[in-house]
Chain A
Amino acid sequence: MQAVEIKNLSFVYSKGTPNEKLALDNIDLSIEEGSFVALIGATGSGKSTLIQHLNGLIKPQDKKHSSVIVGGKNAADKKTLKTLRFEVGMVFQYPEYQLFADTVEKDVAFGPKNMKLPADEVSRRVKRALETVGLDYNEFAERSPFDLSGGEKRRVAIAGVIAMEPKILVLDEPVAGLDPAGRAELLALIKKLQKEVSPTVILVSHNMDDVAALADRVVALKDGRIVADGAPRDVFSHRAFIMHIGLDLPTAARLVDKLEKKGITLSKRIITMAELKDALLSIFKKRAKKRGNNMGYAQINAVTDGNKNADENVEECDGASPVDEKAKGDESSPVSDEKAEGDGAKDENDSGSAGGGEDV
């Protein structure tokens, strides 16, 4: 079942003024229930405008041609709008700025109370929400949200959203401004929320490492249009295209490119650091074996965990190759790419292909 179905959606800001700006340009997008979608794109690409349509904060301008159906409800329909807002939980950037009540309990209870739930259900949900985000109810319920640390405040704000037990959770840059420990905790929490509370998650993020680690689908916007849509591994493997639309790569993919410039070729389908580690370990393993064989030259098939192989090549390292970054894309190593592609690499832990050989 589709959690979100958007058809022909366009949106113009300041229509009819000199500042008129087309923020969304004929967007078609369906999101399957249970999926984790990352929405990426530069500032001003239309991400925020798009997500605000999901719970009717912005209504389609052209009701004749556009439609936004969320959880089976038309987001433009006033009668179901209130229910829709309970079903689509929105965590905006810096959500802690929206805390308002004098105790944590009251703040988190605000949403469920508005749902007109019975008092005992409200309190059950507040407890569950606080516990889910990792805050002890007894310790935090009576405290003022304004006396908490930055990370705690953000978790209270998120608890306020999930207390409504939304079917769809939309998060706009949820880890912005947090320190490394806070980031790691919150990212783990988001994965947990998908399992326990909101099966469909839409994450807006500029951090491609987070996207690679969490999402099973990535949708890229540029100037209000969808320019890429697919599994992160597929989308990020098209280097020339990624550069063309001005997107970043996950660190692991960037390192693969840097290594390639130095003559070490790895799969372009590597997107997480764990995969890169496996690929490198496998090269070093081969190397050690080869040294043992005392071979001067070899083209070696690498086998990583027995499920994959590819011909990879390690050229001379110090020959800092003068390859222009812009000039190269997928075409520079079609062999390793195609080989890896065949495996589909659906599994998160599934390492990309890797291997080593050398010219000595």
Chain B
Amino acid sequence: MPFIEIKGVSYVYPLREGVSLKAVKNLTLSIEAGEFVALTGMNGSGKSTLAKLLNGLFKPTEGEILIDGISTADEERIFDIRRRVGMVFQNPDNQTVATLIEDDVAFGPENLGLPRDEIIKRVDFALQAVGMSEYRKRDAAKLSGGQKQRVAIAGVLAMRPDVLILDEATSMLDPAGREEVMGVVRKLVDQGITVINITHNMEEAALAKRVVVLRKGRLAIDGTPSQVFSSSLLESCGLTLPPAAALAKELKDSGIDIGTVTTEESFAEGICKLLK
């Protein structure tokens, strides 16, 4: 059985009297444990709504979402769901609750009522996993954006989650910060955590093993980065190829076919092969 099962899910936002917005429409999708999935689509396509549905912040208006067999609508298990599915949001400045970094990371485990030893163990583990151990006694407000997001990830890891959801967690960072965070994410994927990265940066999406594209609340494309990048539907989803992939496509139109390119490295290799 897949770890995450989304079965015929719709979600409707009540806007005001008599007006509502259907943000997710009859979505069916499953994700196996350990997958690294990029969830993408233009603004308003339903990505963030789906993320909030996955950890029970929102309950499906129709359909059902199962996390390891537990329904997100099951009120009695909601804290279990939230522990298992951790989220990191967009704004690095809105996600710290404590002054000291180690206190911030300890916040979750403390709320679980864990014994002190266990909390310390988890904080050590989490800070090490994101490469922030040496900063543990520092002031969280003085960190760079990338460091703040790594601390936010550590806060989630301290809960020993099964799934990490990043909701545009890099979109407010500079390129160096983005790289820092994605470096940590790749490491976590290698360690077996299921990661869902919500992004409209297509270069970042290409780092995942699977890319799921939403369009107006519906599933539009689902496949490997190279399948998604070669899909004719991409444009209608309001997405553009990363620059190297776009150039490969233009070259193809000019009669030079280097295959589907997902990364800059594969672009260089493709050119090279043809010139050999």
Contact = CB atoms under 8 A, between A and B. Distances in A.
A264 B43 contact: no
Given A255-B267, A317-B276, A356-B275, A248 B175 contact: yes
Interface stretch (A105-113, A133-141, A172-180, A220-228): A172-180
Interface stretch (B31-39, B117-125, B149-157, B237-245): B237-245
A277 B239 contact: no
A358 interface: yes
B202 interface: yes
Interface stretch (A24-32, A230-238, A280-288, A342-350): A280-288
Contact of A177 (B171, B265, B268): B171
Contacts of B273: 317
B144 A44 contact: yes
B114 interface: no
A209 interface: yes
A281 B275 CA distance: 12
B269 interface: yes
A317 B269 CA distance: 9
Interface string B239-270: 11001101100110010100000001101110
Contacts of A98: none
B276 A43 contact: no
A209 B203 CA distance: 13
Contacts of A251: 243-244, 264
A49 B230 CA distance: 43
A280 B257 CA distance: 12
Contact of B264 (A206, A255, A284, A318): A255
A339 interface: no
B219 interface: no
A92 B228 CA distance: 34
A43 B247 contact: no
A294 interface: no
A276 interface: yes
Interface residues of B, number: 39
A262 interface: yes
A257 to B, nearest CB: 9
Contacts of A273: 243, 246-247
A273 to B, nearest CB: 5
Nearest to B91: A94
B74 interface: no
A43 B145 contact: yes
Contacts of A281: 251, 254, 256
Interface string A17-57: 00000000000000000000000001110000000000000
Contact of A178 (B43, B250, B265, B274): B43
Interface residues of A, number: 43
Interface in A141-180: 147, 149-151, 176-180
Contacts of B1: none
A325 interface: no
A98 to B, nearest CB: 15
A225 B238 CA distance: 39
A259 B271 contact: yes
Contacts of A259: 268, 271-272
Interface in A240-286: 246, 248, 251-252, 254-255, 258-259, 261-264, 273, 276-277, 280-281, 283-284
A179 B43 contact: yes
A48 B267 CA distance: 36
B250 to A, nearest CB: 6
B188 interface: no
Contact of B172 (A176, A264, A280): A176
B174 interface: yes
Contacts of A261: 268
Nearest to B44: A149
A129 interface: no
Contacts of A184: 240
Nearest to A281: B254
A255 B43 contact: no
B177 interface: yes
Contacts of B254: 277, 281
Interface in B156-172: 168, 171-172
A258 to B, nearest CB: 4
Interface in B162-194: 168, 171-172, 174-177
A295 to B, nearest CB: 15
B83 interface: no
Contact of A264 (B44, B177, B250, B275): B275
Given A43-B145, A177-B172, 15 more contacts: A42-B174, A43-B174, A177-B168, A177-B171, A179-B42, A180-B202, A206-B174, A254-B264, A258-B265, A259-B271, A262-B272, A276-B247, A277-B251, A317-B272, A358-B275
Interface of A: 42-44, 147, 149-151, 176-182, 184, 206, 209, 246, 248, 251-252, 254-255, 258-259, 261-264, 273, 276-277, 280-281, 283-284, 287, 314, 316-318, 356, 358
Interface of B: 15, 41-44, 90, 144-145, 168, 171-172, 174-177, 200, 202, 238-240, 243-244, 246-247, 250-251, 254, 256, 264-265, 267-269, 271-276
15 contacts: A180-B202, A180-B240, A251-B243, A255-B244, A255-B264, A258-B267, A263-B272, A264-B271, A264-B272, A273-B246, A273-B247, A280-B271, A314-B275, A317-B276, A358-B275
